[in-house]
Amino acid sequence: MNAIVVYGATGHTGRFVVEELLRQNLPVAVSGRNGSTLMAQWGALDVRPAAVDDPYALDRALRNAAAVINCAGPFATTAEPLIEAAARQRIPYVDVAAEIEANTATLARRSSTPVVPAMAFYGGLGDLLTTAIAEELAPVHVAYGLSSWHPTPGTREAGRVSHDRRGGRRVRYADGRLQYHDDPPVQEDWTFPAPLGKRRVIAEFSMADIVTIPSHIAVPEVRTYMTVEAAGDLADADTPAPPRDNDQSFVVDVRVGDRRATATGNDIYAISAPLAVGAVRRILAGETRASGVASAGAMFDAVEFLKELPLAFDLP
């Protein structure tokens, strides 16, 4: 197999993705804007520096590659040029974008090669859980029970980009479409499975799930919720970046009608690695259910994919 290129390989999530590829004995090449940083961290690997605004350098970085995994945000800047470069090389593209607008733009594209956006904790995991219990025309509720949230610099920058693109407005998916609004955030109680139990959450704390899920399931509404403590961590500019050995725990609790699916694990950034790598491995093995551009739930067998992740599940 030719190498799988990880773009943004020196970032927090990018490092997890490279390590996961190595753990699975898959050939790896690393890429990104800064060649010296790539060499300092991954000098023993195939290093292919390329600026995202240099199509010729991107072509060199992706030449003879099997696939590319984009871990470099903000994806409003990196997704389109990397998707175009992947298309020129006729290879699959996967990213870990959590940006609602970037994912919307990607899912609106057409492609003759596989393109899977949001193959990460936000967007991908919720989509797979929802697909596993999907009932068309039933509202979808995805609640995130995070013990804490230490955002990476990339997360903060992506948030700023999304905020600016929306003109500071909030967004929801209701009545079968994205709606931008100025309604103030509302808090309510959500009862997570034990041991988390009843927690205060911010309702309509919209994440990438409001784009990925309705891209392939006919649902009138997708609402995502976030524990107040985690939302406060994200809002606090003084919250430090996540350590490599993060003790963060999480519960993702999905309800569709009377059905419920739950995933429990540790470290939202680390779990994005087996999601992204699992996606590429399945695409290269021909284990897909869709072609072209598709979200996780449309592209893969949701239950099979979930059961291979290092998470605890409660599925019906």
Please write the tens of the pLDDT for every residue from 254-297: 999 999 999 999 999 999 999 999 999 999 999 999 999 999 99
Going by pLDDT thresholds of 50, 70 and 90, the confidence category of residue 136 is confident
- CATH 3.40.50.720: which residues of the chain? 4-118+271-303
199: pLDDT strictly greater than 80: yes
Domain 123-266 has CATH 3.30.360.10: yes
- pLDDT, residue 244, reads 87
171: pLDDT strictly greater than 90: yes
- pLDDT, residue 230, reads 96
Helix (H) or strand (E) holding 243: none
Going by pLDDT thresholds of 50, 70 and 90, the confidence category of residue 137 is confident
What is the value of pTM for the model shown?
0.97
Helical ranges in the chain per DSSP H: 12-23, 35-42, 55-62, 75-89, 100-107, 126-132, 153-165, 209-212, 228-235, 272-284, 296-299, 302-307
135: pLDDT strictly greater than 80: no
Range with the poorest average pLDDT among 50-54, 239-243, 244-248, 297-301: 244-248
pLDDT tens digits, residue range 82-113? 999 999 999 999 999 999 999 999 999 999 99
49: pLDDT strictly greater than 90: yes
Which residues have C-beta within 8 Å of that of residue 23, sequence separation ≥ 6? none
189: pLDDT strictly greater than 90: yes
131: pLDDT strictly greater than 90: yes
Residue 23 φ/ψ, nearest 5 degrees: -60, -35
Can you identify the CATH homologous superfamily of domain 4-118+271-303?
NAD(P)-binding Rossmann-like Domain (3.40.50.720)
- CATH 3.30.360.10: which residues of the chain? 123-266
- pLDDT, residue 204, reads 92
C-alpha distances (whole Å) from 174 to each of 77, 118, 133, 179, 244 are 27, 20, 20, 7, 37
A 10 A CB-CB count for 12 gives 22
114: pLDDT strictly greater than 80: yes
CA dist., res. 226 & res. 101, Å (int): 19
Residue 210: which of 148, 246, 154, 166 has the closest Cα?
Answer: 166
pLDDT over 70 percentage in the chain: 100
47: pLDDT strictly greater than 90: yes
C-alpha distances (whole Å) from 32 to each of 42, 49, 58, 113, 300 are 11, 5, 9, 22, 28
CA dist., res. 166 & res. 156, Å (int): 15
Encoded tokens for 9? 């390989």
